[in-house]
Structure 1
């Protein structure tokens, strides 16, 4: 009996001198907990990974975003950047809205223009649902953050 790898069924036969395509990923929030692990995972899978610290590229600065996305030329984008510290979120609401809302809006506009072919992945927190009764939450569950 011949054992067939599941991927052999999905991938067409390749020409003799095939060179693997290196995929490029861009991670915002790459120095955070999730970004750190995602970077390691993608690099282990052979990705060329790009990312930056908030002091290198500010998600609220459209020009900095444009340059960063153009340089990365990503196939995939993972948007993990956020002001996520609850205490700071409560004490500086305007900064939180600027980074988490306006920064994400700026980033989406930039990606739409500079890397429309890229797959976009967005991570958030269940805290956006507040004290939702329904569990697990669905994409249609309304936002009701408590902080």
Structure 2
């Protein structure tokens, strides 16, 4: 039986990756940061029989002694390093914390593997935010990086740390440059889930409108379940390498809003410009979307769209869930949660 460690196991990707690895017969070990409620985050939504199979270690990736002890004890076949401070907007508010977690934590993981389990294969969750102020469209593995946030800078340090250890010590360490991937398990602080949850609440009369930042920002959005399968394929590859996972399509935040409201039968029409722009119900004229300058980034990333041809060619990976289906999945799940009283 293969053994895998997942850092960041309680997040969106950790949830889907855990399900995938359990289905494939892995022994799954998860690192969970201590919290007052002893919450397992998204893992609480797993069926009891799956949840009970996971071996949990309570600790912090910034604690090198803790990480050393877990890696040394488990001797994993695979390590999926997903843990991070991953909210871009917050990284501008607290860059030091972002750097400590994303740079220091990653260094602790790669060092532990080097010292105590050099046979382990490691996956690092890099990000399309590395491209930032894009130097070419679409972006691929050879596109120059130009990070535009403390989060992206911290992930760039992680990317090069992994690459350096791979080349310096002949370790199987790979970077996954994943473009935006969302799901019904996404945290409510992320714009896609903010929209899907907002639409559901508006539909049930629990909220008046949604406040958003840059409506014109364009992203390459895929479904997280497709992407964690890509993570697994990256570690099954014949050699360690870096791969872009994306859909090859780009859509604006504005389009995401329009598609989300269509799920509940509302057509959105736009009025005004800039921070005064609003989205109205085309039938009633009620304002359902507003722009809040507080949500603008100090340095914006205007467009991201990935070229996943290398992953398709070498791994046989390609996305399955299309943009409109992704939006529908997210909105329908939030509607269901409200109907069942899970969200009030």
For this structure pair, what is the TM-score category when the shorter chain's length is used for normalisation? 0.7 to 0.9
Q: Secondary structure at the match of 2:98?
A: helix
Match of 1:97 in 2: 99
What's the offset of the Cα at 1:29?
Answer: 0.7
Task: Give the secondary structure class of the aligned counterpart of 2:139.
Answer: coil
> Which residue does the alignment assign to 1:114?
116
Structure 1 distance, partners of 2:94, 2:145, is 20
- 1:76 alignment partner, one of 78, 96, 110: 78
CA distance in 2, matches of 1:137, 1:29: 26
Give how far 1:67 is off. 1.3
**Corresponding residue for residue 143 of structure 2:** 141
- Measured after TM superposition, the shift of residue 143 of structure 1 is 2.9
SS at match of 1:111: helix
Superposed displacement of residue 131, structure 1: 2.3
| Structure 1 segment 125-136 matched on structure 2, within 5 A | 125-134=127-136, 135-136=138-139
Contact 1:57 1:68 in 2 (8 A): no
Three-state SS of the structure 2 residue aligned to 1:59 is coil
- The structural deviation recorded for 1:123 is 1.3
Which has the larger displacement, 31-40 or 127-136? 127-136
CA contact (8 A) 1:35 1:80 kept: yes
Would you say the 8 A contact 2:135–2:144 is kept in 1? Answer: no
Q: Per-residue deviation at 1:141?
A: 3.3
Structure 2 unaligned runs (5+)? Answer: 35-57, 150-344
| C-alpha contact (below 8 Å) 2:131/2:139 kept by paired residues | no
Counterparts of 1:78 and 1:142 in 2: how far apart (Å)? 25
Deviations 1:35-62 (A, max 9, x none): 1100110010000000121222211111
Return the TM-score normalized by structure 2: 0.35
Is the 1:28–1:52 Cα contact (8 Å) retained in structure 2? yes
Equivalent position of 2:17 in the other structure: 38
Q: Secondary structure at the match of 1:78?
A: strand
Q: After TM superposition, give the deviation of residue 142 of structure 1 in Å.
A: 3.4
CA distance in 1, matches of 2:144, 2:59: 31
CA contact (8 A) 2:9 2:82 kept: yes
Looking at secondary structure, tell me which structure has more strand per residue.
Answer: 2
Larger radius of gyration: 2
For residues 3-48 of structure 1, what are the alpha-carbon distances to aligned partners after superposition, in whole Å with 9 as ceiling and x for unaligned? Answer: xxxxxxxxxxxxxxxxxxx000011111110111001100100000
**TM-score normalised by the chain length of structure 1:** 0.79
Specify the alignment match of 1:7 in structure 2.
Answer: none
What is the deviation of 1:133?
Answer: 3.1
Q: Secondary structure at the match of 1:123?
A: strand
Please name the residue that 1:29 is paired with.
8
* Structure 1 residue ranges without an equivalent (≥5): 1-21
Separation in structure 1 between the aligned mates of residue 90 and residue 33 of structure 2, nearest angstrom:
16
Work out whether residues 61 and 67 of structure 2, in 8 Å CA contact, stay in contact via their aligned partners in 1: yes
